[in-house]
Amino acid sequence: MSEHGPDQPATASKRPDMNLQSPIKNPDRFYIGGRWVPPSSSARIQVLHSATEQPFGSVAEAQEADVNAAVQAARAAFDQGPWPRLTPAERAPVLRRFADEMDRLAERGATIWAAESGLLYSTALTITKTLGDFYRWYADLAATFPFVERHPSAAAGCTGLLVREAVGVVAAIIPWNGPPNLAAVKLAPALLAGCSVILKASPEAPGAAYLIAEASENAGLPPGVVNILTADRAVSELLVRHPGVDKVAFTGSTAAGRRIGAICGERIARCSLELGGKSPALVLDDYDIETAAKTIASRATFLSGQVCSSLTRIIVSRQRHDALVDALAAQFAQVAVGDPFDPAMGMGPLATARQRERVEGYIAKGQAEGARLATGGGRPRHLSCGYFVEPTVFGNVDNRSTIAQEEIFGPVLSVIPVADEAQAVAVANDSLYGLGGAVFTHDVDRAYAVARHIRTGTVSHNSHRTEMFIGYGGFKQSGIGREGGVEGLRAFMEAKTISLAGVPTALGVTL
């Protein structure tokens, strides 16, 4: 599973009607305590199709009473239910059944993702077909992760144990750009750890959460282990503040992350925050310009650039700057922008009107602050509706400028000229963010040396990758904690030390 999609998106087996309605069940209900329950009010959230601006569906909008009901169900499942009392090996088969259900829902999930967020349907289908494997990977971890470790004790004749136990009730808050996979990196490790979860979907893209509820129901997860709500920011904050929630796992903007971190700090709640980015790509002097441009441009159009770790600051030596700008502009000029359900398209729309306005505002700032607009900068003239914007390249960008420092969250690249490799590293690190990054060079030793000097959570070599089976997260204001891999499992557990006056005969585990 990748946040950024496959190297070569697969062609969809069939093309859904772009004007279809959201294929979710029970949109007028919440999934709480193992049941589809009516909401506490008649409030609804209308979801628009990103390519047509027409209604795609509507779902119930959670209020305070619904949050309280979800927390109460999750609390009961954790405090009195069987799930946290099972061994990881006993939870693993349920996770595998859940994975099978996610496989079954892959096509519906891809349709929802493309319509709600603008991701190409072919790419969405490739990713949703792999989501089950992510849950299976965590199920397999039940047999290898050291949930109980024996350590030397300071006292003679005693046994020291380090055990890892579920953190408790988790509020998993996911954004609108990648709901299926960003839910998976929270839900899979949390479930293996023995947590109960309240999955809070975004108002712009709630569909994936409804499919997860359906998978939970069909997989036979105990009541209250997985609960789903859709809410706006104000009601979501009630969930973050709720004393019945032990941990908040959030993916979203740095601004929202600051607020969530502050609230969690007030009550000493655990939190992990996967936030914004302004990731640098350093194109070193030995690397071919055309190859670099092709690779960077192909990743920059994934999900229309609505990716927190997207490589948006392209750093290159001054003497090669113009050639790289021209090469990137040529690559972007070839991108077909349009219907995300059309296999011939290379990029779909942005998710919402608000997001398009945001991107257009940054493009205007880039021009006003003196950057050279090399290509793009407007709306595609052949598209009369939908939240589309042209892939855009700016050259001669000052790293202190707005478009170089602030997260745009769209297909906008800033090419920044530097004097040499040392300045390239300094410019890469001159940012509030530290999420992703890349080094383009044919020398793997040089790539490693430069990567060690870049202060980001992930650095790729000659590409843009996220290693979700290793771990993913940011330095600086790009977040706290890691998701994916073994590190992602630890994030949903507390470490407990047990000192026994003797050697136990049966622990239920192999030490």
CA distance 487 to 471: 6
- Which residues lie closer than 8 Å to 90 by C-beta, 6 or more apart? none
- Catalytic, 308? Answer yes
Catalytic position from the list 3, 61, 116, 274: 274
Is the Cβ–Cβ distance between 105 and 211 less than 8 Å?
Answer: yes
* Of the candidates 282, 317, 312, 320, the residue with the CA atom closest to the CA atom of residue 418: 317
Rounded Cα distance between 215 and 225, Å, is 12
**Per-residue CA distances from 303 to 17, 117, 340, 382, 422 (Å):** 20, 8, 10, 20, 32
Nearest to 75 by CA among 248, 272, 245: 245
Q: Note whether 111 and 51 are within 8 A (CB).
A: no
Outline where 243-347 has alpha helix (H): 254-266, 289-300, 318-333
Contact 73/31 with Cβ under 8 angstroms? Answer: no
The alpha carbon of 122 is separated from its chain's Cα centroid by a whole number of angstroms, namely 19
Can you say whether the dihedral through the CA atoms of 188, 190, 195, 201 is positive or negative? negative
Question: Pairing mode, if any, of strands 475-476 and 169-173?
Answer: unpaired
Task: Give exposure, 18-36, as e/b (b: 16+ Cβ within 10 Å).
Answer: beeebbbebbebbbbbbeb
List % helix, strand, coil for the chain (3-state, nearest 5).
40, 20, 40
Q: Which listed residue (214, 264, 308, 390) is catalytic? A: 308
Residue whose C-alpha is closest to residue 231's, from 33, 23, 59: 59
Q: Dig out the tokens for 137 from the structure.
A: 């990977």
Helix axes 106-117, 121-128, angle to 10 degrees: 140
Cα angle 59-64-68, degrees, rounded to a multiple of 5:
100
Check if the beta carbon of residue 148 is closer than 8 Å to that of residue 484: no
List, by residue number, the catalytic residues: 274, 308
